[in-house]
A and B are shown apart, each in its own frame.
Chain A
């Protein structure tokens, strides 16, 4: 069950780029989330496959894995969806919704989880470490 555990986090070959390689696209689950450990930080990666069905374009989103409502690192295990057109994840324990773009909580403005720009290059998932 740890099939891909060997693909450790690597700094992009250029050495200076802020883009950090996290894992392979195959590690992602279409329409859902997984967690990754990047430089000691827990990150939730959400994957919309862009299969031309529900989502036109392939997209990866990266949010902090910690759910502010519970303090537990569980965000990656939430359900994806949209609310009034905004793409969100519903945190699994108490079901608050967080914007995938901004990390803002729809139910409570004061909660804002960190987000990272994320992309897929050559079958690898990368996030911009800023």
Chain B
């Protein structure tokens, strides 16, 4: 707890006290500083009951994926200090003394105020079911709650969420991610009754059940007790009792308004502190913002409206004028991997409302439009299973844009893909980013003021720095605006080709172009460079697979590809034989050892489950590889932008938890895709069960065995900007798994940018994961047959590049340190460290060469 003494200058400065250091309380402080400019003439105090400084509650669940408070923090103590804000964390405000204009804290500190902002948020409602206060009964709101849940789950196997609303399903996902058998109990006949209609709720339930979470609707919990084993038992009005280890209540939230009630402020009938359009309560010196505030008889349980309230109160307090006039409650979510979107009057309660529905049980997609009586205006919508239409529909709704003549054309599947609402159709007032309240007009002004890229617009407007849901729409608006300004959004690969990689790929394929020289003569200019040459080499290899060291291609390759080895800092090379899936026999290990010993190579186990031999000179590479190839090894392509390794865990063959033969599958995949050239390197892994010892979720292609087959994850990576892979398809059999990977990889190879890994590629695809699923799983572009064929051609024409070199004296010619001498490079000098060689440092080298 950090309580600072009240400061000496209380006489000159006015005092602003903010109770609650949640998302909105934090935003209120920041907005106030911004609204005042420097110096404020105010002293600001923030009181927070949680020990943590304000953090991003919206992304709370990511705490279970390894994020820490520091990752989620919105404001840190240091920042507050720097801004001169006084913090009182880990201590609740106990009382507001309106007559004395003082707030009393739980530790009896008294803080005088001239103005007070209440931002105490809400608390999870726990229904008074007998037993609701057992130690295994928890809630899902704060980091401390999550710690408690993790604790309770640590030696349990079953978890129950009471409440099938939006937060309940999010909590269910968390329990599932902790490895618990998860159940959701909902009192109503369907999930998410607030946002969804019955059909949508049913579809959502089916989808969630298919993911292994058991959903019990129409189920009222009667009591919670403890059995002899100390486990928790739920009893229902009817049906079997349920034995569990953790119960998470998610039965709605209630405004945390006790302080205000005790202070005699005007309250709503069902709670909440009543506020006017300036966010003032019935006492004009006291404002209320966020989930504790009741505006026009409504509580807004989302962060964006809370932020608007905070800004309004701050502006008003700073002497400006602003008004809160309500907020849109539309939501777009991914719950347990299932897309759900709800816009406006989803239940068609408006007078005369007309409803259109599209439902496809096969692909698990449900879409509903609610329009005005004449069909010209969108009043609401529901989407389940596919959110790709959400952005477009939301813009129709928010901006009151006239709908097409046949509104249902918007939700019917069309052969032309998703009907996009042209960004030109949006008025300047259209909100693009609701989290940060950025309109199309703001984006256009930012560009007028000199921003000339998406990145600059983001920095300037802060758009897309909240939930991120607006990213695709924002990019469209930025690109269109820049293009309208005549700013050429330059997609050229380099000065020799004014095409993108994707366009070049197309030119190569359609024009059946087989060489770089032909391509640059027809479509480029100059000699080429170290950007376009390797890019084209990779495209040619992906299309025709002729072998990177064939005479026409050899001059295009990046150094490592030219010599089929990775150059090290001193000009020597490393040698990495393929060890598919990490599986290796004792005999082969011995060969590696012998070769390393004979050539005195530094030997290291890599991060990719294989062995790397360092310190070979150019002229030694063929001899070394001859030894390895004779012993049955192949090149590991550690040098190429190509498939690296398929990491595996030991799987069902040995491991007591293994569901399938993960090693077998890893070897199969590695052998299938070895040699495949791609825009960037590709890494795979296969785990034998959900414990995930092969770390498949950090790979471009990750496969995890299930009872019934394989779950496929895609587009993850470690490296500079790590990203967890997304679940792409579940319970695939071997053949479908491989087909799906074939298509996905080939689609990536065709469409990605140079040196763009799958993660960035997917993030940049318009429509992202959903679009990708549509293309690969539903064949929406009708190109799957072609993709599979192209992959088959590459798989069939695989050859070990090192073997091809050893068989061809012409190619071997290049592997000489000097063309006119048998000498080695005298500048390559090693010293011993931990019984192996390493490159000598400059001073060591000078000494060694001098004494030689």
Q: Interface of A with B (CB < 8 Å)?
A: 1-5, 7-9, 22-23, 27-32, 34-38, 42, 45, 53-55, 66, 70-74, 77-85, 87-88, 90, 92-93, 95, 97
Contact = CB atoms under 8 A, between A and B. Distances in A.
A77 B567 contact: yes
B559 A31 contact: no
A30 B554 CA distance: 9
B41 to A, nearest CB: 52
A2 B822 contact: yes
A5 B555 contact: no
Given A42-B825, A73-B827, A74-B571, A81 B533 contact: yes
Contacts of A45: 819
Interface stretch (B102-110, B185-193, B316-324, B524-532): B524-532
Contacts of A35: 817-819
A80 to B, nearest CB: 7
B819 A81 contact: no
Residues of B in contact with A, size category: 35 or more
B619 A2 contact: yes
A22 B827 CA distance: 21
A22 B821 CA distance: 10
Interface stretch (B405-413, B742-750, B808-816): B808-816
B841 to A, nearest CB: 11
B834 interface: no
A8 B815 contact: no
A48 to B, nearest CB: 8
Interface string B507-546: 0000000000100110000111110111000000000000
A95 B534 CA distance: 13
A71 B517 contact: no
B820 A31 contact: no
A30 B555 contact: yes
B820 A9 contact: yes
A79 B559 contact: yes
Contacts of A8: 820-821
B748 to A, nearest CB: 25
A9 B818 CA distance: 11
A65 B168 CA distance: 66
B820 A72 contact: no
Contacts of A79: 529-530, 533-534, 555-559
B428 interface: no
Interface in B799-842: 809, 812-823, 825, 827, 842
Nearest to B527: A82
B103 to A, nearest CB: 60
B569 interface: yes
A34 B554 CA distance: 13
B820 A78 contact: no
Contact of A92 (B495, B520, B528, B567): B567
Contacts of A66: 827
16 contacts: A5-B821, A8-B820, A28-B819, A32-B555, A34-B814, A42-B818, A54-B520, A54-B527, A71-B827, A73-B825, A77-B567, A77-B618, A79-B556, A81-B529, A82-B529, A93-B571
A74 B491 CA distance: 32
B555 A93 contact: no
Contacts of A3: 809, 812-813
A32 B827 contact: no
B563 interface: yes
Contacts of A7: 820
A34 B827 CA distance: 17
Given A5-B822, A72-B827, A97-B530, 16 more contacts: A3-B813, A5-B820, A35-B817, A36-B819, A54-B528, A70-B570, A70-B571, A72-B569, A72-B571, A73-B571, A73-B825, A77-B571, A77-B618, A79-B555, A81-B496, A81-B530
Contacts of B532: 81
Nearest to A21: B820
Does more than half of chain B's interface fall in helix, strand or loop, or is it mixed? loop
Nearest to A82: B527
Nearest to A75: B571
Nearest to B528: A81
A4 B571 CA distance: 22
A118 B533 CA distance: 25
A84 B816 CA distance: 32
Contact of A29 (B527, B555, B818): B555
Contacts of B819: 4, 22-23, 27-28, 34-36, 45
B603 interface: no
Nearest to B825: A73
A88 to B, nearest CB: 8
Contacts of B131: none
B562 interface: yes
Given A29-B555, A42-B825, A79-B558, A93 B529 contact: no
B95 to A, nearest CB: 66
CB-based closest 4 A-B pairs: A31-B555, A81-B529, A92-B559, A72-B571
Contact of B823 (A23, A30, A37, A87): A37
B593 interface: no
A74 to B, nearest CB: 4
Instruction: Point out which of A31, A54, A78 has the most chain B C-beta atoms below 10 A from its C-beta.
Output: A31
A70 B567 CA distance: 12
A77 B563 contact: yes
B532 to A, nearest CB: 8
B268 interface: no
B432 to A, nearest CB: 39
B622 A37 contact: no
A80 B516 CA distance: 13
Contacts of A36: 818-821
B527 A1 contact: no
B668 to A, nearest CB: 35
A32 B552 CA distance: 11
Contact of A37 (B520, B815, B821): B821
Given A32-B562, A72-B570, A83-B529, A1 B820 contact: no
A1 B842 contact: no
Contact of A71 (B559, B809, B842): B842
B567 A95 contact: no
Interface in B592-643: 618-619, 622-623
Contacts of A82: 526-529
Given A77-B563, A79-B558, A95-B530, A84 B495 contact: yes
A36 B821 CA distance: 7
Contacts of A84: 495
Nearest to A10: B820
B454 to A, nearest CB: 26
A26 B618 CA distance: 19
A30 B622 CA distance: 21
A77 B559 contact: yes
Instruction: Point out which of A1, A28, A54, A85 has the most chain B C-beta atoms below 10 A from its C-beta.
Output: A1
Contacts of B556: 79
A124 B307 CA distance: 77
B559 A1 contact: no
A6 B528 CA distance: 35
A7 B820 CA distance: 6
B734 to A, nearest CB: 41
Given A36-B821, A92-B567, A78 B559 contact: yes
B849 to A, nearest CB: 13
B313 to A, nearest CB: 53
B235 to A, nearest CB: 70
